[in-house]
Chain A
Amino acid sequence: MLLAFRFALASERVSGTAIEANEFPQLSQELGVWAVPRIVVDGEPRWDGAVPEPEFLRRVLS
């Protein structure tokens, strides 16, 4: 979670939002959140689970 925040703090082009899945079940269901952390980039579900910073960078930019 902190990586998304750190990316947002490092660039005005990036926003980082944590979303508590249980409190927003409709959105979670729409995005197929069955495991956490689930990472969504520009509204598109991308992967589940924490990854190191270089891999996080590669995945969000790919």
Chain B
Amino acid sequence: MALLRAEEEAKVREWFAELERPVELLVAIGPEETPRTGAGDVDFGAEMVRVCEGLAELGEGVTCRIEQEPEGFPRFPAVSIRPDGRDAGVRYDGLPWGYELGSLVGAIVEAGREEPTLRPDSLAALEQLDRDLALEVFVTPT
């Protein structure tokens, strides 16, 4: 089954062609938690590889690397979105399917920008941070 509809794929190719720096998708595969009932009979790890390899085919600046249980990943499968191959603290735990595939595409586009896209006051506030800040956003595919 195709990852995206034809018109969606064309749009993603356009976005990926405009990336200002390379973006690596580091896919982490490992032991998986039993998902909530109703998640279906899905091989989440294999599907994560298919999704990320499929996205990497849509732009020269996007690459995909797969590792078994790499350090720093508390849950599997997961994908770290890495500008210039650097761990920037951007990660998606679980399979980004359905509507959430757009979030992964968006993360790649954002990681491919040389300059942050936040408002000046947000950037100023983050520059003043004197501690680490871990943001987690729980999502579902629909």
Contact = CB atoms under 8 A, between A and B. Distances in A.
B94 A7 contact: no
B50 to A, nearest CB: 16
Interface string B106-138: 110011010011110111011101011111111
Among A8, A14, A36, A54, residue most surrounded by chain B Cβ atoms (within 10 Å): A8
B100 interface: yes
B133 A15 contact: yes
Contacts of B131: 13
| Best-buried of B32, B93, B138, B140 by chain A (most CB within 10 Å) | B138
Interface in A22-53: 22-28, 31, 33, 36-43, 53
Given A9-B116, A10-B118, A22-B140, A60 B133 contact: yes
Interface of A: 1-2, 4-28, 31, 33, 36-43, 53-54, 57, 60-61
